[in-house]
Amino acid sequence: MTYDSEDIQQILQMALAQKQEGEFSQEQLLEMASELNISPQMLEKAEEQWLTQRSEQRQRRAFNNFRRQGFSKHLISFVAVNSFLILLNLFTSPSYFWAIFPLLGWGLGLFFHGWGILHNQGKAYEQAFQKWCSQRLQGKDF
């Protein structure tokens, strides 16, 4: 039976997942690569790409957490202020419910803020992510 490179990759991934020993040493990785006729240079390049991807994934998770925390703060302030306004409205002029206007206006802004948090793809997301990354590198507070 013969296998193409994609079949080999899938079989090895399944075998490694089933092995469940946890970790492999650098020597074991080099040994596996040599058995597959992968040069140490190719392996090093692949490892660098993997490390870059892993770093970016961590940064994106941190960015998404940062955005969710911002939304949580927005939601808490929305609830606190609008609760106060509703109580103030009920005590001062219960016949006219004027608190609905700031409630609806701020609620619309909160809705769009939440909508933006749920959509973490696209041009606007990438621009926000790049801006956040550059601010982190410059050491600016958020």
CA 108 to chain centre: 24
Whose structure tokens read 């193409």? 4
What stretch of H or E contains 98?
none
For residues 34 and 15, give the distance between their C-alpha atoms in angstroms, rounded to a whole number: 17
**pLDDT tens string 46-86:** 888 888 899 999 999 999 999 999 999 999 999 999 999 99
**pLDDT tens string 81-139:** 999 999 999 999 999 999 999 999 999 999 999 998 988 888 889 999 999 988 888 87
For residues 17 and 19, give the distance between their C-alpha atoms in angstroms, rounded to a whole number: 6
Query: pTM for this one?
Result: 0.67
Tokens of 118: 């749920």
For residues 53 and 39, give the distance between their C-alpha atoms in angstroms, rounded to a whole number: 21
**Total residues belonging to the chain:** 142
